[in-house]
Amino acid sequence: MGERRAALITGSTSGIGLGVATALAKAGMDVTLNGLGDAGEIERVRATLAAETGVVVRYDPANLMDGGACAGMVESAARAFGRLDVLVNNAGVQFVSPIEDFPIEKWDAIIALNLSAAFHTIRASMRGMKERRYGRIINIASAHAHVASPFKSAYVAAKHGLVGLTKTAALEGAQFNVRCNAISPGYVLTPLVENQIPDTMRAREMTREQVINDVLLAAQPTKQFVRIEEIAALALFLTTPAADQINGASLSVDGGWTAQ
Ligand code: NAD
């Protein structure tokens, strides 16, 4: 005790992952960032976060489509910090297409990144967390872990699976002070959402405004995007003692979408 906690956040070079990493670093955790993108831009993000918070901020460029790379990233984070206390599985991609035209390689890629990568990182983290009697695993799922939308077969299937994985890891870790929960956001305006607007415009023959109001926010009763900071605050809460008995849950932050 007294040592800083060490966290690894996948897909944290942008969007929700960067928001979660920032919240954990501001709370005093050393963090490992991961994600794809321009090397110079990522180094700028890393250095800024380190300077703002005073914690150690590492970056691991692992491509999580590969299970071995997932395990290697966990192992090098644990080596660098002496342990891994908090694992946030956030990296994810989307692809929108009717099932009959859904490219098989897109299905495989989405299952690999949005579901299997979380299995591989949890698999590589669990033993050490159990041995040290401490671990907090947070999987960023989605409202699409609970309900479907047309044209998102792979994403919906992967996110439903991720909640199942969350429950299983929660049961296995329960007596070792290892907790595993999912956060299930509604629509958050990040690059992932921005990038699917053109595809949805094409698939549904709609304007950009129609896609935002009639598709993206159609089911979100508040008619507001979720803010990245709201997801980050909940992730941070799940690492505090007040959340010790939250285990195997999927916490919706979706403006009431899945209440319908
Ligand atoms: P984003 O596109 O802004 O960020 C995705 C991150 O994943 C980036 O850092 C990217 O570099 C990384 N990434 C992509 N492919 C990778 C790979 N092969 N290996 C390693 N990293 C990779 O997306 P976001 O909106 O911040 O989404 C983050 C998570 O939140 C995803 O799992 C997404 O499904 C989930 N989510 C997002 C929303 C939303 O509305 N934005 C809603 C519900 C759930």
CATH number at residue 81: 3.40.50.720
Coil vs helix vs strand at 179: strand
Same domain, 140 and 174: yes
Is residue 164 in contact with ligand 1, taking CB distance under 6 Å? Answer: no
Please give the number of the atom of ligand 1 that sits closest to the Cα of 37.
11
Contact assessment for residue 125 and residue 173, using Cβ atoms and an 8 Å cutoff: no
Same domain, 120 and 167: yes
Q: What is the mean pLDDT of each run of 10 residues along the chain (260 residues)?
A: 87 97 98 97 98 98 98 98 98 96 98 99 98 98 97 98 99 98 96 86 94 91 94 98 98 97
Ligand 1 centre and the CA of 15: distance in Å? Answer: 7
Q: What is the pTM of this model?
A: 0.96
**Ligand 1 atom 32 nearest Cα:** 92
Please give the residue range of the domain that contains residue 102.
Answer: 6-186+227-253
Per-residue confidence (pLDDT) for residue 50, from 0 to 100: 98
Tokens of 219: 């089911």
Same domain, 159 and 205: no
- Estimate to the nearest angstrom the gap between the alpha carbon of 180 and the chain centroid: 13
Residue 155: active-site member: yes
Is 258 domain-assigned? no
Same domain, 96 and 198: no
Q: How many structural domains comprise the chain?
A: 2
Residue owning tokens 């963090």: 31
Per-residue confidence (pLDDT) for residue 1, from 0 to 100: 46
Same domain, 178 and 200: no
Same domain, 111 and 205: no
Tokens of 150: 């047309």
Is 35 domain-assigned? yes
Same domain, 19 and 54: yes
Ligand 1 centre and the CA of 179: distance in Å? Answer: 22
The stretches of 27-116 forming alpha helices (DSSP H) are 39-53, 67-81, 104-111
Same domain, 150 and 119: yes
Is 260 domain-assigned? no
Is 1 domain-assigned? no
Same domain, 132 and 203: no
The C-alpha atoms of residue 30 and residue 227 are separated, in whole angstroms, by: 24
